[in-house]
Amino acid sequence: MSDSVPTKEQDPARKHATPVSSKPGSWVCNYCKKITSGGVQRAKQHIVGGYKNVTACTMVSDHIKEEVRSFMLKKAEAKATTQMMPPPPNLYDEYEEDEDEGQTSKPPPSKKRKGPMDKYVCPTPPDVLKGRKDKKEVFGKSDKELRDRACAEIARWFYDASLPFNAVNYDSFKSSLELVGQYGSGFKPPTMYELRVPFLKKEVKETEKQLVEHKTEWSSKGC
C-alpha cells in the first residue's frame, strides 16, 4: 500500500457524512443525522469524538471512529513532513543536559536581535535552572511525563485549530509559553474579544513605535 499523502477521495469521513448542498461547509452525519458546520474536518471530529468544539456522535461504531481517527493522524503526519522545519541542534539542551560534564561545550549562540516580546519576557533565573539540574535524578521521570502531557495538549490544539506545524518555530510562540510557565498554575487564557480588540491594538501601537525607532535610526545611519 502506498504511503502517499491521503487524498479527498480516500477520506473515510466522506463515507460516513454527507455535505449539505443548501449550506456550504456543512455536513450531516449518516448515523445520528446531526449537521455540523466547519467543513469535513468538523464532521470528522464529530465522528471521532473528544473535541470541545463539537458534540460526539453516539451512534457510530468504534471501528469507524478508529478508521477516521487513524486517517486524521496520518494526514497530520504527512502535513508535518512538508511543513515542519527541523529543530536547531540546541533546541532541547535545557531539557536533556549532557551527562558527560567533561565534554567540550557548544559554541556560543549568535547574538539575538531583541523584539517586542523581550521587554515582557524575562529569562529563567539561574537558580531555577540550577535547581532543575540538581533534582534531575530525582524528578527527571516526572518532569518528562509532565512535559509529554503538556506537549500532547499543545499538539491537539494545533490539530484542532488546523495551525501550520512550522508555527512552533516562531520566537513569539516560545516566549508565550515561557510567560505562561512563569505565571504558573491557574493561568486564564485570553478571550476572543481580548485577542480581537485590546491586545491587537496594543500590538499595533508597539509595531508603530518600533517603526518610528527604525526610521530615526535610518535617518542617522542610513538603511
At 106-126, the pLDDT tens digits run: 555 555 555 555 555 555 555
Residue 2 lies in a domain: no
pLDDT classification of 208: cutoffs 50, 70, 90: confident
Residue 103 lies in a domain: no
For residue 91, what pLDDT is reported?
41
Nearest to 68 by CA among 24, 22, 116, 12: 12
Domain co-membership, 200 together with 184: no
Domain co-membership, 14 together with 77: yes
Domain co-membership, 199 together with 216: yes
SS3 assignment, position 113 = coil
For residue 5, what pLDDT is reported?
45
Residue 64 lies in a domain: yes
Residue pointed to by grid coordinates 464529530: 46
Domain boundary among 64, 83, 102: 83
Q: How many domains does the chain have?
A: 3
Which sign, positive or negative, has the C-alpha torsion 14, 15, 16, 17?
positive
Domain co-membership, 53 together with 120: no
Q: Which three cell numbers stand for residue 77?
A: 503526519
Model-wide pTM > 0.85: no
Taking residues 147-166, report their average pLDDT: 90
Residue 100 lies in a domain: no
Residue 72 lies in a domain: yes
Residue 79 lies in a domain: yes
For residue 139, what pLDDT is reported?
47
Q: How many CA atoms lie within 13 A of 191 on its CB side?
A: 4
Domain co-membership, 159 together with 223: no
Residue 99 lies in a domain: no
Taking residues 57-75, report their average pLDDT: 86
Contact 35, 14 (CB under 8 A): no
Q: How far apart are CA 12 and CA 44, in angstroms?
A: 9
Residues 7-22 pLDDT 10s: 444 788 888 999 998 9
Domain co-membership, 182 together with 216: no
Domain co-membership, 22 together with 67: yes
For residue 104, what pLDDT is reported?
44
Q: Which domain holds residue 202?
A: 190-223
Residue 98 lies in a domain: no
Domain co-membership, 183 together with 197: no
Q: How far apart are CA 29 and CA 49, in angstroms?
A: 13
Contact 47, 57 (CB under 8 A): yes
Average pLDDT for the chain = 75
